[in-house]
Structure formats: structure tokens, C-alpha cells
Amino acid sequence: MNLILMGPPGAGKGTVAKQLINKYGIVQLSTGDMLRAAIKEGSEVGKKVEAVMAAGDLVSDELILELMENRLQQDDCEKGFILDGFPRTIPQAEGLDVILEKLEIKINAAVNIDVPKEVLVERLSSRRTCTNSSCQEIYNILNNPPKVEGKCDKCGSDVVQRDDETADAIMHRMDTYNEKTAPLIDYYKNKELVVDINGNQSYEAVINEVTSKL
């Protein structure tokens, strides 16, 4: 199964992806996680994108498409994948179509998670994320805190607030989503791939709705 996960910042894409990979035995390809790992490593890509991400802006389409074209050719993608946070602009979606055609891969569905804006802001302000690049487990201090404060339940690494979770950056990410990413819903509706999900329900209810509709 090859899926695209769509939805505004804080909709729960990462949370849903982490459950689906266990259920279906497929891999999560999160451009946000890959970029944060590159920043942590101090790589050239990381240095290029650090300030852009902290401000809540989008990284260039060229860089993202190159990253994903390489990633999609790795062996672990053969069993299926979830694109989490990609594509995020119409040029990225068009670029993805070209890559998929070249690699002879088909997308089964574009899962669109919808959550009201006021809920998103609260979720993002209270989210905490594991700093270990190969874990990046997601927590929420209001409804899903780590068992030991500040430490990841899975790997024991520090759990912190992301650099793009300041009030200004959150608002900017919302605006960027509405302007550049929301038009992708129609793009994939035209391809008859969209599966709409109400993301404003319990963790369990969201994942049940996703799996029953897929």
C-alpha cells in the first residue's frame, strides 16, 4: 500500500503514520523528520534548511524533490510507504507524478486529515518530540505525555519542543498551509484519490476511521 498523508500542521499526520506503519508493515517517509535529522547531523542540507524551517517557511521544491526521488528508490519502499508532509505544493505534486511514473509506482490513496484551526494551535503548542533522529516519537503534554517527564518512552532520549513551535512560526505555518498546500486536496480529488478523515476525535477513533476507509 502506497499512501499520501495530507492535513495542516498538527492534524496528526505523524501520529497516524506511526500507527499505520506497524499495521501494514510499510515505511513512513516524513520530509519533516528527514530534514530535522539533517539539521541534527549538521550536514550541508541541514545547514541550508535550518533557518527556513525554524521560521515556518517551506524548503525549496527542488531540494525536496531530489531528496524524495532518492528516498523512494531505496529497497525498504518496495513493501509500501506513507508520504508524510510531502508533497506540499503543486510543483511538488507534479514532480512526484513524474518520479512515480519513472519508478512505475502507483499511489493507492491520499488521506486528508481535517482538524479545526483552534485545536491545531493547542496541539502544536503542547506537542513534544523525541530528539533521537531514528525515533522522533510524538508526545503531547496535555493528552499523551511521556511516562518520565522529558524522556522518550521508546528510546530514553530527550523529548523537547520543536524549533518551529513558537507562536509566530505556528501562525506562519498555518498561513503557508492554506496558501500552498490546501490546493493539493483538489489536485488529488481530480485523481479520485482523496479519503477524508475527521482528525478531531480521539487517537483511537482517528486511526479506526482511517483503516476502515482504506
Residues catalogued as catalytic: 13, 88, 127, 162, 173
Q: Would you count residue 95 as binding ligand AP5 (CB under 6 A)? A: no
Q: Would you count residue 210 as binding ligand AP5 (CB under 6 A)? A: no
Is residue 79 classed as helix, strand or coil in its secondary structure? Answer: helix
Instruction: Single out the residue of 3, 4, 6, 13 in contact with ligand AP5 (rule: CB under 6 A).
Output: 13
**Measured between alpha carbons, how far is residue 135 from residues 41, 154, 155 in Å?**
14, 8, 7
Q: Would you count residue 3 as binding ligand AP5 (CB under 6 A)? A: no
Q: Would you count residue 29 as binding ligand AP5 (CB under 6 A)? A: no
- Residues 73, 103: contact at Cβ < 8 Å? yes
Q: Would you count residue 32 as binding ligand AP5 (CB under 6 A)? A: yes
**Minimum Å distance from CB 85 to ligand AP5?**
3
Q: Would you count residue 146 as binding ligand AP5 (CB under 6 A)? A: no
Q: Given the C-alpha cell 510524538, which residue does it identify?
A: 138
CA-to-CA distance for 44 and 173, rounded, in angstroms?
24
Instruction: Single out the residue of 3, 6, 20, 56 in contact with ligand AP5 (rule: CB under 6 A).
Output: 56
- Which H or E run contains 99? helix 90-103
**Minimum Å distance from CB 157 to ligand AP5?**
17
Q: Would you count residue 127 as binding ligand AP5 (CB under 6 A)? A: yes
- Residues 108, 3: contact at Cβ < 8 Å? yes
Q: Exposed, middle or buried, 142 (CB in 10 Å: 0-12/13-18/19+)?
A: exposed
> Which of these ranges, 19-27, 95-103, 132-140, 150-158, lies near ligand AP5 under the rule CB under 6 A?
132-140
**Minimum Å distance from CB 80 to ligand AP5?**
19
CB contact burial 4-38 (16+ within 10 A = b; e otherwise): bbbbbbbbbbbbbbbbbbeebebbbbbbbbbbbbb
Closer to ligand AP5 by Cβ: residue 19 or 103: 19
96 contacts: CB under 8 Å, gap ≥ 6: 65, 68, 83, 86, 87
**Position closest to ligand AP5 via CB:** 32
Q: Would you count residue 206 as binding ligand AP5 (CB under 6 A)? A: yes
Beta strands in 124-170 (DSSP E): 127-130, 138-140, 159-160
Residues that bind ligand AP5 in the complex, under the rule CB under 6 A = 7, 9-15, 31-32, 35, 52-53, 56-59, 64, 85-86, 88, 92, 123, 127, 138-140, 143-144, 164, 173, 202-203, 206
